[in-house]
Amino acid sequence: MNETIQWLVDSPEPWTRYRTQLDLLDRAPDSAKWDAARREMIAHPWVRGLVASAASWGERPLKRHNDASHPLYAISTLADFGLRADDPGMDEIIEKVLAHQSPEGAIQSVINIPKAFGGDDTDRWTWIICDAPTLLYSLLSFGLGDDARIQRAVNHLAGLVDANGWRCVCAPELGKFRGPGKKSDACPIANVYALKALSLIPEQRDSSAARAGAEMLLSHWADESHPKPYLFGAGSDFRKLKYPFVYYDILHVADVLSRFPFVHADPRFRAMVSAITAQTGADGRYTATSMYQSWKGWSFADKKNPSPWLTLLVLRILRRVGR
């Protein structure tokens, strides 16, 4: 075992130890180390805090999709860590999320679109392409893939794709609302969210929808004219290492793309991965270069010291692509 992986195995973060056992060492669920890390993770006070935050789902409207303090991202981070539907407190969260599904199939959120962005400042249960897929990804991660409601949501999401990927679309009741871009443009963050959800469905990993979404992201990264569809760029801020996976940044995009084997040999993807690995420290560890203040205290929101969790995320990408 190399020194960096040993550092992860010895990490004080049980979520890092658990995912290291699972994603880098292929430890089976009956492994003592796997089980011990998982039990410690579930009982950890910070994880219990995330569960409590996630349980407030529906009590606070989503006004902007880069609000890392919103319960939506407590839910998705629990999914990233590897919590399951039968873990303590998860049943309440899942019940609240599944209580609101649109007639089309998308999982809904309480959304408030300010008048300045074309809305009416009203809280309502509805959906937009930049929130529904994150909920779907989380529910799939929690192990609900066989639920008929989840299958309907998957089919709805896959059916929303256009030839150039996922565009800015929303529930019919929101009328002509869309983000600040051309109607015909694909939205970068919508493609990240949608691909992340579909990556958990085996038959979708080489689908035409997945290929369209991946091509959109790879083309956007490689376009030297630096376009900003819906104001999303791929410049210096995009290249900063950041977690949780909330918005459009290089680690989020590369993690999602790495889930699709047909992308691995693409030179554009390899260039993206190289832009990440160029940020490693001399010890092979990775430190955040950007952070969300609402997550201050977690290692991945510390710009001064290497983060075990961020290091794991990078090594997992490299392992997926055979590096």
> Is residue 291 domain-resident?
no
The region, left, alpha or beta by phi > 0 then psi within -120 to 50, assigned to residue 89 is left
> Is residue 256 domain-resident?
no
Q: Is 270 helix (H, G, I), strand (E, B) or coil?
A: helix
Q: Which domain holds residue 140?
A: 44-179
- pLDDT in the model for residue 196: 98
Q: Is 186 helix (H, G, I), strand (E, B) or coil?
A: strand
> Is residue 249 domain-resident?
no
> Is residue 80 domain-resident?
yes
> Is residue 293 domain-resident?
no
Phi, psi (deg, nearest 5) at residue 296: -60, 135
Hey, what are 294's tokens?
């609402």
> Is residue 110 domain-resident?
yes
> Is residue 262 domain-resident?
no
pLDDT band at 26 (very low <50, low <70, confident <90, very high): confident
Number of domains in the chain: 1
Mean pLDDT of 281-286: 93
Q: pLDDT tens digits, residue range 75-128?
A: 999 999 999 999 999 999 999 999 999 999 999 999 998 777 677 888 999 999
In contact, 210 and 192? CB cutoff 8 Å: no
> Is residue 64 domain-resident?
yes
